[in-house]
A = this chain, B = another copy of it.
Amino acid sequence: MNSWVRYSEDSDFSIYNIPFGIFSYNSSSPRIASMIGDQVIDLKAVAETGIFDKLNIDNSVWESNYLNAFIALGKEITNSVRLILQKELCNEDSILKTTDVFIPVQEVRLHMPVKVGDYTDFYSSIEHATNLGKLFRDPENALLPNWKHLPVGYHGRASSIVVSGTNIYRPKGQQKPADSDPIYGPCKLLDFELEMAYIIGKNSNLGDPISTKDADNYIFGKVLFNDWSARDIQKWEYVPLGPFLGKNFASSISPWVVTLEALEPFKVDGPVQEPEVLPYLQYDGTSNIDINLQVLIQPEGQEENIVSESNFKYMYWNMRQQLAHHTVNGCNVKVGDMMASGTISGKDEKSYGSMLEISQGGKKTLTLKDGTERKFINDNDYVILRGYAQKEGIRVGFGEVKTKVLAAK
């Protein structure tokens, strides 16, 4: 495909991508957009040209504050919208060439793409689970007995998921120093977690499991996900019911939802699962995706520093298995629900997806380009996640999620 819209070769938003998001411009209300190169495509304006007419979409959907109503139209419609856009953006005679549907991305504000109903976080990287098991529990038995039998997951907080560009405050809370009673104060061990999340595209009914075979029909698309973690708060609170205040002060996501269909060309085989999993977790076909991932720390006014390079293909448990497991007990899912991967670490220490792992629990120091040192995240640091898939000259990427950490209030 060749588009008449010009963009650089390394753009995440090539003609092969065509993601969906929510933008506002000047004083307009937020509404639905796509993106090519560095141009936001106003889909309300596109719809007015008539190119979607045969889809019989109620035009009010383009003026929604969130993608939920659009996603709920179903993949037949949303995929058609994407394919029509691709076709028109390649058609030299397209009506879009003569209309006012493009706005440079630097002139718009990008918003939360979806209203998140429920948010679940998995724990599906074997390297991350092993690293954490070694640090938190027993180096000899780092993986707990259930880990290879089921994709461990837990519920997180949906209300505090924010979009790239939203500053967060360093959380306060209880910590337990080794030699004293618990104390209250600002978190001292603030961490990121490099994750990706998928967004549910179709409601299921309470009582009805979703099979691994049917799972893709329920997955609309993906975003980058930074699962902020306050390690000292988490360590003291997390037994026996799991992480709570150590996580729920904020999670940050990238603004563009890249569809599952756009990622299809980048599918790869996952790791061999040994012992064999139960039948409801077995799947056919390639179900991992080769997505290059990066984490960068940028101290205020300074250069960016790459601190991790990982890949979504490392996941031990894939999205189909996660969704089949999540619903095997009849738990229902709804459009807009978000399912995060858990921290994506690779084997190599340069691919670890959290400072906890990079600093080996605070034992090792990272020196940044400006000469300052980090074991965890400082006030006024920006943390940036980036991700893209690339193959045979085709690039489909996520842009970034960039967040500044403000001092505790």
Contact = CB atoms under 8 A, between A and B. Distances in A.
B245 A243 contact: no
Given A172-B328, A279-B184, A158 B243 contact: no
A118 B159 contact: yes
Contacts of A158: 117-118, 158
A174 B174 CA distance: 35
Given A159-B337, A171-B329, A241 B118 contact: no
Nearest to A250: B206
Contacts of A207: 168-169, 409
Interface string A135-160: 01100000011100110111111111
A211 interface: no
Contacts of A242: 154, 238, 240-243
Contacts of A245: 325-326, 328-329, 331
A337 B158 CA distance: 11
Interface string A321-341: 000011011111110010000
B174 A332 contact: no
Contacts of A238: 240-242
Interface stretch (A60-68, A229-237, A345-353): A229-237
Interface string A151-188: 01111111110100000110111101000011110010
B241 A123 contact: yes
Contacts of A330: 160, 169, 171-172, 249-250, 409
Contacts of A172: 209, 328-330
A249 B333 CA distance: 11
Contacts of A333: 159
B331 A144 contact: no
Contact of A236 (B146, B174, B248): B146
Interface string A191-233: 0000000000000001111000000000000000000001001
A149 B230 contact: no
A244 interface: yes
B146 A241 contact: no
Contacts of A209: 172
A160 B331 contact: yes
A245 to B, nearest CB: 5
A227 to B, nearest CB: 12
A71 B137 CA distance: 45
A272 interface: no
A25 interface: no
A4 interface: no
A171 B171 CA distance: 37
A279 B328 CA distance: 43
A228 to B, nearest CB: 10
A1 interface: no
A275 interface: yes
Contact of A157 (B137, B149, B331): B331
A155 B332 contact: no
A176 B147 CA distance: 13
Contacts of A181: 149, 275
Contact of A248 (B157, B176, B240, B329): B329
19 contacts: A117-B159, A150-B174, A154-B241, A154-B242, A155-B156, A159-B332, A159-B333, A169-B330, A184-B279, A184-B328, A187-B329, A238-B241, A240-B242, A241-B242, A242-B242, A245-B325, A245-B329, A248-B331, A249-B329
